[in-house]
Amino acid sequence: MKQSTQKRLKRTAIIAAIALVIGAGIGFMEARKEVTNKVRSHKVAGISLGGDFTLVNHKGVTVTQDNYAGKYKLIFFGFTSCPMVCPVELQKITTALTSIQSTNPEVLEKIQPLFITTDPERDTPEVMSEYVDMFHAKIIGLTGSSEQVQEVIQAYRIYAQKAEVEAGNDPMDYDMDHSAYTYLMSPDNELISIYRMEDTADYIAGDVLGKL
């Protein structure tokens, strides 16, 4: 592994740890305020997105949607060099999964969390493997060829765009703008819920437990 990659992963681990502490703090405060997330509900009726895909998992094995047949899928799009948003979001998903696990382990059994990269150029299966290792053990990282990734991004209506690299900088050291939605899909691959950045781990866990 390149040294820059190691540095990046180390930074991500630190951000994820910070996110965990902040997340726990927010969870505590919200519990004190007795915030009921149940009154909030994102309307997803009528939105159809998703579709079959062919991608490569973090163990280097080619997979399709059918590999996760019968499972509810919690799908998040991002990339491993993301400085801030992705580690925080993945930490949040990890916290939600841990909370679901402790509340009702049978529900967790029904879920397959998937982290799909928007940056297949840098996110090889090896890089994905190192990255998902820092989060919940159930999370599978998916990458693929540019075409395969482009196809799944479009199917899930994700916006992902490479940012311009300033002249003189390493062309591989680019940032990426991307939408940060997490989708809950049914075993029949129907959209059940969309989670946004402002949704807490508690909200996600509560919504999943209420719907599965």
Q: Toward Ni ion, which CB reaches closer, 106 or 198?
A: 198
Strands 72-78 and 176-178, bridge-based pairing:
unpaired
Asked if residue 119 lies in contact with residue 176, where contact means CB atoms within 8 angstroms, the answer is yes
DSSP per position, 19-72: HHHHHHHHHHHHHHTT--GGG-----TT-------EEEETTS-EEEGGGGTTSE
Q: Toward Ni ion, which CB reaches closer, 78 or 113?
A: 78
Site pattern 58..77 for Ni ion (x: CB under 5 A): --------------------
- CA proximity to 47, closest of 206, 181, 210, 156: 156
Please write down the HEC assignment for all residues of 85-112: HHHHHHHHHHHHHHHHHHHCHHHHHCEE
Site pattern 116..155 for Ni ion (x: CB under 5 A): ----------------------------------------
78 lies in the site for Ni ion, by CB under 5 A:
yes
Supply the minimum distance, in Å, between the C-beta of residue 77 and Ni ion: 8
Among 55, 86, 134, 185, binds Ni ion (CB under 5 A): 86
Q: Toward Ni ion, which CB reaches closer, 63 or 85?
A: 85
82 lies in the site for Ni ion, by CB under 5 A:
yes
Supply the minimum distance, in Å, between the C-beta of residue 162 and Ni ion: 13
Binding site for Ni ion (CB under 5 A): 78, 82, 85-86
